[in-house]
Amino acid sequence: MTDKTLIPASPSEDDYVRQVAAAEPPALLSEVDPFALFDEWFKEALQKEPNDANAMALATADADDLPDVRMVLLKDVDPSGFVFYTNLESAKGRELAANPKAALLFHWKSLRRQVRVRGTVTPTTAEEADAYFATRARPAQLGAWASEQSRTLPDRLALEKRIAEVGLRYGLGKVPRPPHWSGFRVAPQSMEFWRDRPFRLHERLVFEWAGPGWTTRRLFP
């Protein structure tokens, strides 16, 4: 059992007072454009996060409506949505095929910020998937062919053997994108921007799509 003394205690009032004294109150978050705000925060995260500023939690649901969540990497973003790539036969691929809705969470601990996204999911085009796959390192391309993602692996040697077999198959030639590997785009219906403030009085700003534009509202922390 985990030693409960290892879990950090909640900050004391003195801790918060020191935070307030050290921090200049920021201006309220802009309500103009969620993607412009995301772009601003993402650029800061790329400078300050130790690694994988583009990491995001992806939540889906299985056939029994049981939630499932894992970390994936953002590979593209524009006003049409947030893009990631995966094995279509993986758990997330199967879940999204059956229920094309998802939630994303970016948590930038160094900035004390997070962004939540909820929306519908559509496949990327084959051209988009081909273009991204071509940028991957060759061992990662081979791995996409060799790994039966989310399915039972008898032992580590079985994976190494499959990678070797795929390597022999393609030799020094170009590795094509596997037909079972592609991308998904999450088109936001809502985006929430959360910013840490002292005493748990955080700032929360929600953008909701009401086509042809966004509405905004602020939430109690």
Q: Give me the active site residues, please.
A: 200
Residue type at 130 in one-letter notation: D
Distance CA 210, CA 121 (A): 18
Asked if residue 46 lies in contact with residue 58, where contact means CB atoms within 8 angstroms, the answer is: no
**Helices and strands: H and E segment counts in the chain:** 6, 9
Burial class, 208, CB count within 10 angstroms (exposed 0-12 / middle 13-18 / buried 19+)? middle
Half-sphere exposure of 176 (CA within 13 A, CB side): 6
What are the tokens at 44?
């800061």
| List of residues 6+ apart from 101 with CB closer than 8 A | 60, 61, 118, 119, 120, 121
